[in-house]
Structure 1
Amino acid sequence: MKRVLRVLVAVTTVGAVIAAPATAVAGRDPSGLQKQLDGVVAGSAVGALAEVRTGHSRWRGTSGVAERETTRPVPVDGRFRAGSITKTFVATVVLQLVGAGELRLDDPVEKWLPGVVPNGENITVRHLLNHTSGLADYKKTLPMPPSPEFFANRWRTWTADEFIQRAVAQPPVHETPGKVFDYSNTNYILLGEIIEKITGETYADEIERRLIKPLHLRGTEMPGTSPRIRGPHPRGYVPADRTGENFVDFTELNPSLFGAGGELISTTADLNRFMSALLTGRLLRPHLLAEMKKPGVPGGDYGLGLTWRDLSCGLRVYGNDGDALAYHSWSFVTPDARRQASVALTPNFDGDSDDYIDGFLDEAFCP
């Protein structure tokens, strides 16, 4: 995934952060996970937390600090904005509707949202799920930090209609749906609207009813327009200017900015539980889980709201990652779900967190 601020903000240096001692609980760390997590923080983050499960054993660890210029440790059970991991939850609800016969993957968008998007008769639900619709990404039309307009919009409530109108005002990124992968948050805004059209309930309510409650994800919520992260959590920051020396605490904001593409708040334990349930077939029928794993384009690594990584040892793991401006997260699981790893961090924008997270995932999954 592209990290929004890495693309839009040129930051070269970061102010010093006082490091807190690393913490590991619920078991020792024989495999170097703590060392890898410390490396992630040293290279790219203010603080990080992770949970790795192998069979019945669990390792949980933290590194760095929960708040800049303090020694306050990152809470090991901390909550965070999970960004685009939300898309896997939304996709699961859509596929459950498919399994119930209320929707087809090859239904055109026009059937459910008539007149809403150009070429809607040729863009299908499948194209929205796998990002091959060709629709422009509304996020690319919004101001981003360190723009003053971005900060002025901090408490604004955005609507799905606003996002869709911004997107369709742009030319399509490609003309033929289904042929080219181009990641667009607009796709999942539309899927959220389709869920509501079919069920009569919001996508957030359906995620709560179908996934959060049945799986007992007690640290997970769809916050809607509520700006706070309840419970223990690290603070998150965005650059205040292009010097790389000044930051704004951006823990609180109106999460309607992310909508159906990214508003989820969760914990590492809950994400591991959700991904395990998904990959073991507890949430979807086998043929629909198989559809979820199919790349949208030949050679791609994104299916229907699910992505995958091929690790250095040759193992493929499934899951998703998320960018919620002041929080980055990853959650992956082996195909048999015997091993799971979720990690979240508050970036310092000094380095590319994806470059460092690969080492952690290798340590978590590879023999």
Structure 2
Amino acid sequence: MKKTLTAILAAAAAVTVTSAPAQAAPDSRKAVVQRNLDELTALSQAGAVVRVVQDGRTWTARSGTAVWGRKAPMPLNGHFRIGSVTKMIVATAALRLVGEGKVRLDGTVDTYLPGVLKDGGKITVRMLLRHTSGLNSDASDSKYLADGELKHRYTHVEVEELVKLSDDSPRDFPPGTKHSYSNANYYLLGMIIEAVTGKPWAEEATRSLGLRATSYPGDKTRLPRPHARGYQWADGKPVDITRLNTTAANAAGGMVSTTTDLDRFIERLLSGKVLKPAQLREMLDVTAPPAGDQGDGEPGLGIFRYTTPCGKRVYGHSGGISGYATYVASTLDGRHRAVLNMTTASPKFAEPAQLFKVVNSLFCG
């Protein structure tokens, strides 16, 4: 949800190199990851946990504390808010509807939501998925997200208000001409899914995915147990923001999950168990993306491709919402997958250099 955090997480796995160093064996990589996690949590005074699958072997690592100021181990498969990783799940739901003939990628917003946008006849579903619509979400982001989350942490927000705040803002560029990440695109996709299916977007998004711990809590402010506590730094101290109403994030970033569920999702997605081949190819197509803000990597439809420093290409998404940061990625063949979640606490929680080391070590030696 927060562009700066998302860019930091993504940039850590988006450095192209001309030669690829030797790959570390799983045991060696786990030791490197553990060391980097320990350095990160010592700096940030937060907690972090990773789940990695490499060539059929699954391992986990954790560091730091689940509760500020206490010695409380991070739950290895605890629940956490996944922020913009929600977008990858919502995009999958939209593309599944495309495969079922219920939605067209080149269908316009007006086709499914008549009159919701002033230029809804020019913005297509494909543009929403790839963030090339030109819609700007700064007005809603600044009001309800980031620093606004403390003020509005228990506030119910209608998605129509979020969309109107965007629609009333100037467009970043003419639809389809550039790429710029915007939450407004996914607010609209959630609304389209509901208009087409008659079901809540989250119910449709998790249909047939086998995700037992993934949900959209909406007005329910408590996280399922077990979970680590998340914090937001304010007035020189950490403020516990574990309890949060996520209606202001909605289909752009309001879901809750676990490392096991997110690993299961990315594995099933890339192995072709969720989407038909044509829709999966569309999702993963990052060829010739429009120019613009691509700090998240090369954009597909609801997913990004990153090139790691050791030359591996991985697909996934990152996300941040007050209290929690998440990163999910996998090689295309699914043989090497990684999920990282960390709580946010001190202002140093996203120290770029150390976070880069953690994210890159998940795939590189």
Once the two structures are aligned, what percentage of the paired residues are identical?
Answer: 38
The residue that corresponds to 1:85 in the other structure is 85
- Displacement of 1:359 in angstroms is 2.2
CA RMSD between the two structures: 2.1
- Displacement of 1:353 in angstroms is 5.0
**Structure 2 CA distance for aligned equivalents of residues 281 and 205 of structure 1:** 21
Tell me the amino acid that sits aligned with residue 139 of structure 1.
S
- Displacement of 1:350 in angstroms is 1.2
The residue that corresponds to 2:348 in the other structure is 350
Q: TM-score, normalised by structure 1?
A: 0.86
The residue that corresponds to 1:297 in the other structure is 290
Q: Is the 8 A contact 1:145 1:240 kept in 2?
A: no
Q: Is the 8 A contact 1:45 1:346 kept in 2?
A: no
Give SS of 1:36's match.
helix
Cα distance, 1:86–1:6 mapped onto 2, change above 3 Å: closer
The residue that corresponds to 1:265 in the other structure is 256
- Displacement of 1:274 in angstroms is 0.4
- Note if 1:234 corresponds to 2:235: no
Cα distance, 1:109–1:257 mapped onto 2, change above 3 Å: same
Q: Is the 8 A contact 1:234 1:346 kept in 2?
A: yes
- Displacement of 1:42 in angstroms is 3.1
Tell me the amino acid that sits aligned with residue 321 of structure 1.
S
How many residues of Structure 1 are paired with residues of Structure 2 in the alignment?
A: 337
- Displacement of 1:177 in angstroms is 0.9
- Displacement of 1:56 in angstroms is 2.3
Q: Which of 332, 336, 339 is matched with 1:335 structurally? A: 332
The residue that corresponds to 1:311 in the other structure is 308
Cα distance, 1:154–1:54 mapped onto 2, change above 3 Å: same
Aligned ranges 1:1-367 → 2 under 5 Å: 3=3, 29-31=27-29, 32-44=32-44, 46-137=46-137, 138-143=139-144, 146=147, 150-174=149-173, 176-211=174-209, 215=210, 217-241=211-235, 245-295=236-286, 296-297=289-290, 301-347=298-344, 348-353=346-351, 355-366=353-364
- Displacement of 1:351 in angstroms is 4.9
Q: Which has the higher contact order (CA 8 A, sep 6+)?
A: 2
Q: Is the 8 A contact 2:217 2:254 kept in 1?
A: yes
**Structure 2 CA distance for aligned equivalents of residues 5 and 55 of structure 1:** 30
Tell me the amino acid that sits aligned with residue 194 of structure 1.
I
Cα distance, 1:45–1:336 mapped onto 2, change above 3 Å: farther
Q: Is the 8 A contact 2:89 2:206 kept in 1?
A: no
The residue that corresponds to 2:19 in the other structure is none
Cα distance, 1:327–1:172 mapped onto 2, change above 3 Å: same
**Structure 2 CA distance for aligned equivalents of residues 226 and 351 of structure 1:** 26
- Displacement of 1:258 in angstroms is 0.9
- Displacement of 1:40 in angstroms is 2.8
Q: Is the 8 A contact 2:46 2:349 kept in 1?
A: no
Q: TM-score, normalised by structure 2?
A: 0.87
Post-superposition Cα deviations, 1:283-313, rounded to whole Å, max 9, x if no partner, equal 1122211211223426951111001211111
Post-superposition Cα deviations, 1:123-174, rounded to whole Å, max 9, x if no partner, equal 0000000111011114334155656xx5332211111111111111111111
Q: Is the 8 A contact 1:309 1:316 kept in 2?
A: yes
